[in-house]
Amino acid sequence: MSEKSCSTGGKRNEEKLIAGNWKMNGSLAANEALVRALLDGLGGDAGCDVAVCPPSIYLAQVRALLGASERIALGAQDVSQHENGAYTGDVSAAMLRDFGVRYAIVGHSERRQHQAESDTHVAIKVQRALAAGITPIVCVGETLAQREAGETEVIVKRQLAAVIHLNGHCISEIVVAYEPVWAIGTGRTATPEQAQAVHALLRAQLRAATDRADRVRILYGGSMNAANAASLLAQPDIDGGLIGGASLKAPDFLSIIAAAS
Ligand code: PEP
């Protein structure tokens, strides 16, 4: 890809990013209540970048609720690896872009597990998103068995390497999310030190691939909540959070945003 084709037009990433992954939750009524509560709670300036990632069927609704406001960006939970055509059920990067989607989660462990997404699929999806001007939030993370077998470093580096390999110089345009699988939705969080250690490994891997590695935001995800956010976000290589369960409750999500601001 040319330099132009992977540019998401992103500013320098000095602010933290807090992104809410709603997963397969919500309804027209619940989404409206949640978005209104978030906009009310945020006031003028959030002090960090904020995104919400509803199920794709609700992207248009949430886009309308967010209005022209830049306070909360819209994200998708996935993007097709195909550009267009006979791929029933898929949603392309260009379609997401049509609805003002700025971020797309790619390679979430739930998709790797339930939809058999491989490292190669994830790398192609990242390429599709970047080509459409969407910032992919690339999820990597080890299972509990892999951590206990001492394989954390090998696993996360392998997952990120596939993305780097296919996306070359565009790699500085991505967001990475370190999400230990054993911490997702379990209430069990990585300690700040455990998370920082993996984030530092990922940062080093990015530095070997690009001299712009310091602009790549590396988010932590896995049972981040109002109580543990501040200590995780204080780590030098934790540049934000990808939040599942706690992003569905406005007071909790707002507390995490406040901790990042
Ligand atoms: C996630 O799904 O990306 C996630 C981090 O979930 P939770 O915060 O619920 O662990």
Q: Is the dihedral angle over the CA atoms 145, 147, 150, 156 positive or is it negative?
A: positive
**Domain that residue 159 falls in:** 17-260
pLDDT digits (tens, 9 = 90+) for 69-128: 789 999 999 999 999 999 999 999 999 999 999 999 999 999 999 999 999 999 999 999
Tell me, yes or no, whether 178 lies in a domain: yes
Tell me, yes or no, whether 230 lies in a domain: yes
Tell me, yes or no, whether 194 lies in a domain: yes
Min mean pLDDT across 8-12, 101-105, 131-135 is at 8-12
User: For this structure, is 108 an active site residue?
Assistant: yes
Tell me, yes or no, whether 146 lies in a domain: yes
* pTM, 2 dp: 0.95
CA–centroid distance, residue 5 to ligand 1 (Å):
31
Tell me, yes or no, whether 37 lies in a domain: yes
Average pLDDT over residues 193-218: 96
| Nearest CA residue ID for atom 1, ligand 1 | 244
Amino acid code (one letter) for 137: I
| Nearest CA residue ID for atom 3, ligand 1 | 244
Tell me, yes or no, whether 9 lies in a domain: no
For residue 70, count other CB atoms closer than 10 A to its CB. Answer: 11
CA–centroid distance, residue 200 to ligand 1 (Å):
21
Q: Where are the alpha helices (DSSP H) in the chain?
A: 28-42, 59-66, 93-98, 109-114, 119-131, 144-148, 152-167, 192-209, 229-233, 250-260
Tell me, yes or no, whether 124 lies in a domain: yes
Structural domain total, the chain: 1
pLDDT digits (tens, 9 = 90+) for 136-156: 999 999 999 999 999 999 999
For residues 190 and 123, give the distance between their C-alpha atoms in angstroms, rounded to a whole number: 26
Whichever domain contains 244, its CATH number is: 3.20.20.70
For residues 133 and 112, give the distance between their C-alpha atoms in angstroms, rounded to a whole number: 24
Helix axes 119-131, 152-167, angle to 10 degrees: 40
Tell me, yes or no, whether 10 lies in a domain: no
